[in-house]
Amino acid sequence: MANEQLQEAIDALKSTKVRMTPQRHAILEYLYNSMSHPTADEIYKALEGKFPNMSVATVYNNLRVFKDVGIVKELTYGDSSSRFDCVTTEHYHVICSDCGKIVDFHYPGLNEVETLAEHVTGFKVDNHRMEVYGTCPDCSQQTQH
Amino acid sequence: MANEQLQEAIDALKSTKVRMTPQRHAILEYLYNSMSHPTADEIYKALEGKFPNMSVATVYNNLRVFKDVGIVKELTYGDSSSRFDCVTTEHYHVICSDCGKIVDFHYPGLNEVETLAEHVTGFKVDNHRMEVYGTCPDCSQQTQH
DNA sequence: TCTTACATTGTAATTCTTATAAATTATTTT
DNA sequence: AAAATAATTTATAAGAATTACAATGTAAGA
Ligand SMILES: [Mn+2]
Ligand SMILES: [Mn+2]
Ligand SMILES: [Zn+2]
Ligand SMILES: [Zn+2]
């Protein structure tokens, strides 16, 4: 159930000086219930029924607050807008080059890469980023006319 | 010597209907001689002495032309501007979170990740992207006051 | 209640990149 | 070589995503 994790996120916020507001609750709720990787604008559009006066700046502001607290991760892609992920445990993404669909997957061992990079470059390595690109099943099927 | 690879790039262009112009030559020359990962604007600034009338659009246009021909790769980062790499053979990057320095490194085996992603998600996987983030030696030293 | 701190809103500004149209330059055709 | 065609550059406007800012609103603490 996504509600447990939503509650955990709310509790995490309470332990800071960040106040819970209706807008914040709605943004978090949307993130946890959709379980997708929405853009700021998608969130904004999804909530404009409930909050006709909400500013898009509020969405951006709060996503940054959530990021700082650590309950949301930002996924940045070159051309288009950032996407936001409420699953903060380590996992990777497969992205469809056709339709943009993003799917989570897990892979155990990439720490080896970090260690090698440290040795080869002399950097003190903290973390890494990886995505896999391809064609999703839906798009593959459509191509086969 | 970078000049051999520059010549190869020029030859690759000649085999298409793409014309060689002074601006194009200068952009390529800069890419191959600097051997860094400059932004479009860095290239533009670096060449404004030689080409006081060159438009920044020309830099962007030509970088796209080079990308299409396959002699340049675009590295996209979320917040800031794209960087361009004239080394198109497969390699990875370590990026300093402090100063933004980008250093190449090689790692043999990440095809395994692609295979696993295919099996787990049903995607037809084409390629992947990976970067490692940390602190470069220079920045590490400065922190130790 | 009064004061202070935090949030939201609406809008302007910023940044990076692309689109457009006119002017140049190069290539091909006559 | 001159004319026609195609590619390229330039200058500038437009676009999209995000942030900054100031005014207003709301909650918490004294
Ligand atoms: Mn995810
Ligand atoms: Mn590189
Ligand atoms: Zn797809
Ligand atoms: Zn550094």
Please name each of the domains of chain B with its CATH number: 2-86 (1.10.10.10), 92-144 (3.30.1490.190)
Q: Is the pLDDT of residue B143 over 90?
A: no
**B131 to chain A, closest Cα gap in Å:** 5
Q: Is the pLDDT of residue B124 over 60?
A: yes
| C-beta contacts of A2-7 below 8 A and 24+ residues apart | A2/A32, A2/A33, A2/A35, A3/A32, A5/A32, A5/A86, A6/A32, A6/A33
**Spatial distance between the Cα atoms of B58 and A5, rounded to a whole number of angstroms:** 50
- Return the SS3 of A34: helix
pLDDT tens-digit series, residues A17-73: 899 999 999 999 999 999 899 999 999 999 999 999 999 999 999 999 999 999 999
Q: What's the whole-number average pLDDT of chain B?
A: 91
pLDDT band at A117 (very low <50, low <70, confident <90, very high): very high
Residue A16 Cβ < 7 Å to strand D: no
A96 vs B92, B123, B140: nearest CB: B123
> Phi/psi of residue A140, each to 5°?
-60, -45
pLDDT of residue A142: 83
Q: Show residues of chain A in contact with B39, CB under 8 Å.
A: none
B133 vs A78, A126, A137: nearest CB: A126
CA closest to C1' of C16 belongs to B81
pLDDT of residue B54: 96
The total of other beta-carbon atoms located within 10 Å of residue A27's CB is 28
pLDDT of residue A136: 95
Is the pLDDT higher at A109 or at A52? A52
Q: Is the pLDDT of residue A144 over 80?
A: no
Checking each nucleotide's C1' against the CA of A13, the nearest proves to be: C6
> Phi/psi of residue B79, each to 5°?
-70, -55
**B76 to chain A, closest Cα gap in Å:** 4
CA of A103 from ligand 1 middle (Å) equals 7
**Spatial distance between the Cα atoms of A140 and A29, rounded to a whole number of angstroms:** 33
DSSP labels, A72-114 = -EEE--SSS--EEES--SS-EEEEETTT--EEEE--S--HHHH
pTM of the model: 0.89
**Chain A: which residues have CB within 8 Å of chain B?**
74, 76-79, 82, 92, 94, 96-97, 103, 105-107, 110, 113-114, 116-118, 120-137, 140
How far, in Å, is the CA of A57 from the C1' of nucleotide C7?
11
Q: For residues B107 and B90, is the Cβ–Cβ distance under 8 A?
A: no
Among B91, B103, B121, B138, the residue to mutate for chain A (most A Cβ within 10 A): B121
Q: For residues A13 and A64, is the Cβ–Cβ distance under 8 A?
A: no
